[in-house]
Amino acid sequence: MVQWVLGMCASLAAVSAFSPSSVGLPAARNLGRATTATRERKTALSMKAGPFSPKLSKVTDITTGPVHGEGGAYVAGYWVPYDNCDEHFNIKGGSNEKVDPLPCPRSRTRHSAAKEDGSYDVAIIGGGCIGAAIARELSKTSASVVMLEAGDDVSQGATKGNSGIVHAGFDDKPGSVRAKFCWKGNQMFPALDNDLHFGYQLTGSLVVARSKEDFEHLEELKKRGATNGVKNLEIIGEAELKKKEPHIHPDSIGALFSPDAGTLIPYEYTIALAENAADNGVEIRIRRQVDAIAKNDNGLFEIDVDHWEPKSFVESRNLLTKLTGAVKGLGNYFGGIGEFGPWQKFPALVKGEQKVDVESMKVGGSGSKKAMEGATVGREKVRAKYIVNAAGGASDKISAMIGDASFKVKPRLGEYVLLRKNQGHLCNHILFPCPGPYGKGILVQKTLWGTRFSKVH
C-alpha cells in the first residue's frame, strides 16, 4: 500500500509533483479537459510517458487586482478579460465532450472501471486534493482505478479546510519530502490550470518583517529557499513593500517576496481533478467509508466499505422507518444575520457551538456520515491489487487496517476570519508574518473570489 500523508496548507504544490511511479504505474500522455486525447485500452500498466508542452493562455501580465469571475478570469496565473475568454477560457474538445450528459446513479459515477473479474488495479482511499490528483494521474494509464470517499462529496476533509495557497517552498526543511517536491509542484500549476481551468492566480507572497531580528530571519528563509531550488526570491525594503501593499501596518519595514506563490480555491481544484479523472475512466464512489482491509487468497486487497446516505434521503425514499421531527444533520446552510434564512430557529448556530467533532472532521467534517446523520444502505467489497492511502486525517486508521501502526495523525485545528468582498482590496498578496517560536502566526490572504480572510495557525 502506498502512503500519501501531507499537511493541509503546504500540500498543494507537492501534490502536483506526484508521479504514479510510486505504485509502478507509468504515465501516458496528457488527458486534460482542454485536449481531445482519448485513452486506449492496452495491457494494464503498460503505457509510456509522452511529451506535454501546453500553450499557456497568457494575454496580460496582471496577477493582482481584478476578481475572478468579475469582468474576466484568472487562467494559468494571469488575468484574462471577458473579451478574450472565448479563446482562452472556454475549453473546446475537452474530455467532458467525450462523455454523454446523462444522469448518474446516486453517489457514484455512471461507469464502472472494474475489470472482468470485478477487481481493480488500484483503489484510492480518499477524495481530497491528493486523492483526486493521484486519480487523474492514474487515468493517464490503462489501469482500472476506483476512488472511494467517506464524505458526501470530494474535498470534504482536510482539503475543505485548506487555505488554497500554492507555496513556493522556501520555508520547507531542506532534505524533506516537501522541500524536494514543493518548488517542482509550484511550477506545474500554471500548465495544470491551463488544462483544467479551476482558477489559479499568481498573487505572490510576502513574509513581512517588523524588526531587525525579522530581517535576519528573512535572510535565513531566502538561503533555505535557495537550498530547496526556489527561484526568484527577493528581499525588498519598506518603500517597495508599501508600494505593493499600501494598506499594510505602518510598522512593517520589509519583506521576503516570492512572485511564484499562488492562490486557488481548494474545492474547485479538487472537483476539476476528479471530474477529469472520471471523464477519462476512473470510477468514483462517494459516501463510502472504509471499515476494514484484508488480503484474500489471490493476493488482492479486500476493502470492506460502508455505503451510507443522509437520513433525510433515506427517509424520503422510505428505506427506514419514518421518524418524527426535522432532520438535525448539518447538510444545510441556514444563513447568518442579515443574510436571510431561518438561522434564528437554530440556537446552536446563534451560539456558534461546534457541531462537528474532530473524528468526524477526519472523514468529511460537516459532510461526514455522523454530521449528516447518515444511515447505512449497503455493504460493499472492493478488491484491488494496490491501495493508495490518501485518507488525510484518517490515513493512520487506514494504514493500521493492514497492520502498519507506525504513525499517528495528530490534527491541528485553526481558525479563519472571513471578511466580505468590500475588504478584499486591502491586500494584494499572500501576507505572512515572520514565524515565531510558537507557530506561523496569522496570515492574511485575498481569495480568488475577492473576499479576504485571516488564518490563525
Specify the CATH number for the domain of residue 28. 3.50.50.60
Q: DSSP letters along 75-115, please?
A: ETBEEEEHHHHHHHTS-SS-GGGGS------TTB-SS----
Average pLDDT of the segment spanning 301-311: 95
**pLDDT confidence band for 407 (50 / 70 / 90):** very high
Neighbours of 375 (CB within 10 A): 16
- Report the SS3 class of residue 391: coil
Q: What is the pLDDT of residue 45?
A: 37
Q: What is the pLDDT of residue 457?
A: 58
Question: What CA–CA distances, in Å, run from 113 to 19, 245, 279, 360, 383?
Answer: 21, 50, 11, 29, 12
DSSP 401: T
Average pLDDT of the segment spanning 203-207: 96
* Sheet strands (E) in 328-427: 374-389, 415-419
Identify whether 54 is part of a domain: no
Identify whether 42 is part of a domain: yes
Q: Inform me whether the pLDDT recorded for 397 exceeds 80.
A: yes
Q: Are 276 and 95 in contact (CB under 8 A)?
A: yes
Tally of structural domains, the chain: 2
Q: Inform me whether the pLDDT recorded for 297 exceeds 60.
A: yes
Cα four-point dihedral sign 248, 250, 251, 252 = positive
- The CATH code of the domain that includes 235 is 3.30.9.10
Q: Are 264 and 211 in contact (CB under 8 A)?
A: no
Identify whether 237 is part of a domain: yes
User: Does residue 234 sit in the same domain as residue 126?
Assistant: no
Q: What is the pLDDT of residue 90?
A: 74
**pLDDT confidence band for 86 (50 / 70 / 90):** confident
Q: What is the pLDDT of residue 107?
A: 94
379, β-bridge pairs: 306
- What phi and psi values does residue 331 have, to the nearest 5 degrees? -80, 5
Q: Inform me whether the pLDDT recorded for 13 exceeds 90.
A: no
Q: What is the pLDDT of residue 318?
A: 60
User: Does residue 446 sit in the same domain as residue 380?
Assistant: no
- Report the SS3 class of residue 314: helix
User: Does residue 140 sit in the same domain as residue 87?
Assistant: yes
How far from each other are the two terminal CA atoms of the chain, in whole angstroms? Answer: 31
**pLDDT confidence band for 147 (50 / 70 / 90):** very high
Neighbours of 210 (CB within 10 A): 16
Average pLDDT of the segment spanning 71-93: 86
Q: Are 20 and 41 in contact (CB under 8 A)?
A: no
The model's pLDDT over 237-259, given as tens digits with 9 standing for 90+, comes to 999 999 999 999 999 999 999 99
Amino acid at 160: K
Q: Are 268 and 69 in contact (CB under 8 A)?
A: no
User: Does residue 38 sit in the same domain as residue 92?
Assistant: yes
Neighbours of 305 (CB within 10 A): 22
More confident residue, 350 or 161: 161
User: Does residue 159 sit in the same domain as residue 239?
Assistant: no
Identify whether 429 is part of a domain: yes
User: Does residue 250 sit in the same domain as residue 149?
Assistant: no
For cell 444533520, what's the residue?
A: 329
User: Does residue 113 sit in the same domain as residue 234?
Assistant: no
Q: What is the pLDDT of residue 186?
A: 96
Identify whether 431 is part of a domain: yes
Average pLDDT of the segment spanning 154-178: 93
Identify whether 331 is part of a domain: no
More confident residue, 17 or 356: 356
User: Does residue 168 sit in the same domain as residue 211?
Assistant: no
**pTM, full prediction:** 0.82
Residue percentage of the chain with pLDDT more than 90: 57
- Report the SS3 class of residue 397: helix
Q: What is the pLDDT of residue 337?
A: 46
Cα–Cα distance, 148 to 380 (Å, whole number): 11
Cα–Cα distance, 413 to 409 (Å, whole number): 13
Average pLDDT of the segment spanning 109-137: 97
User: Does residue 117 sit in the same domain as residue 75?
Assistant: yes
Cα–Cα distance, 37 to 93 (Å, whole number): 9
Identify whether 406 is part of a domain: no
Cα–Cα distance, 329 to 103 (Å, whole number): 26
User: Does residue 157 sit in the same domain as residue 302?
Assistant: yes
Query: Could you list the residue range(s) of the whole structural domain that residue 440 is in?
Result: 203-261+414-456
User: Does residue 231 sit in the same domain as residue 298?
Assistant: no
Identify whether 334 is part of a domain: no
User: Does residue 175 sit in the same domain as residue 113?
Assistant: yes
